Structure 1
């Protein structure tokens, strides 16, 4: 509608739309690029350019165009076309920046949830350790003390003050054992009522589903049995996968990415490979930046198990991370 106003006012005898009309004429393609799907929003600048061309053609016919007039019309068409498509491009850029900010916010929320789950898992593990210690050490020791007191009491005359004192100590000991067992039950019930799903490569499909929901197209391939990995190695491999996918979102955006988890014998391999972002230079390292703690952390996780990590740009401009863990080896 905004674009159609251009030829209408020209056909009505005016020199062209007013200042507000011209501003709206250029803002409309930009707004379409910002709010609409690029596969459809390109119709907005195209329509605006066609309407501008129609308006200048109508104005040229009304004034009797000469060769010089036709040249001016051509330049006007070029001018309006560049402005229309330029406004649309600015809208697309703003749309991409907004989308990336949304993805980073979702990623931050996911990492915060993982941190909370890890802290909760530590708390539950500590509760269970205390419960085991209380049951296996404290309660057992008190039970042995009560039995020994009963044996000593049986050697004393039954109506003496010493025998009565031993009987009272036995009773207090049995009550303490009952209270300790009740407390152990409370600790274990609290732990069992709050289950925590620890990070594991067995949950790689859930992690991939989360980043897919954030807009990253990921193809996951699992080759071999990854259900019985050592717990610590399993967590480290999961964290490397999580960090690598986060780096793709952070540095390359929503580009096609492939994840391969491969286990062969006593070796576990991880490969995360993404396509180059639009306009990327093949010699640019997407993880190069202030600190580089993500890549350093990956190397540290792999080196603990005597493995190796290779990360760097691919010849096509993409980026790849390859990690290999020897299963059963730890430095």
Structure 2
């Protein structure tokens, strides 16, 4: 049975409280970056006697870098990234490009965050380059210095965009997997619904007929025959209970650990001969022709054929009680054709279930149900190539 797994939460902030915890490696690398840049910023600042405004703006850029590690909302991400870019860019020239590191980190952050516009990283890089150019003009830095920092900013834009695309692809992959799991779960539920429908149509419907017969026999004083019918009703009820238990068992996660008793019951329930005998015990008449064992079919195809025959016989009991039913099994070259015919037509969920069951086989097996010449006919055709002789 397929179980829907909760998709892994994304690595990036997508709103307040969104996003999974950053990995220990990411925390460690960013902490190391803050410590290393902070150490050289202080050491060089003392040696070069930075003015107060450099100390303040550099401290703001480093503090925003730290804040980025703890913030998860879009507002915190945007604020931290903007501070890193603006404050860091203002002191890139006086720190001899040391503070370009938090600027690049901020650009990557803004470009990679999915809740922010994709162009924001590029705009941040342009703004940063403009600030650096103005600062370089005021402090008489060379053009080559500005171009070198521009290359670093471009690298940050590319890294941010790459990370965004990678995470978008990862998110789509998780969503596709979740959708596949959902589709599989719905298919399992549909299959269980069909099995439960079979139980209601065959076992419970037959049980009602048996009990009605028991009541009539008791009223007629035919106690021994009534006792025999009651025993058949008990067997039918036990079989129905086993089938219902299997249908419910299919919805559980441990469906692979089916009890041996249920396996044996399922084997009995998947025999066409047993099904025809049950129909006769309900008072019905069946004219069977051909191989009731369905020896040319493997277990899966045999089970599908038997389930459709069960529904067809239940329809016959419901719409044509007491009327004869004809069942024929014919080997036709590389296929087995199974036909069930009764005098009246039918409608409801049973026909839909028949078609769904055969569609799941996915190998050209077909079932056609409808009225022909005043009779309701269910015709099945199942390929048997490369399956003859397989165990049930």
Say yes or no: TM over 0.5.
no
Larger Cα-atom Rg: 2
TM-score, length of structure 1 as denominator length: 0.41
TM-score, length of structure 2 as denominator length: 0.36
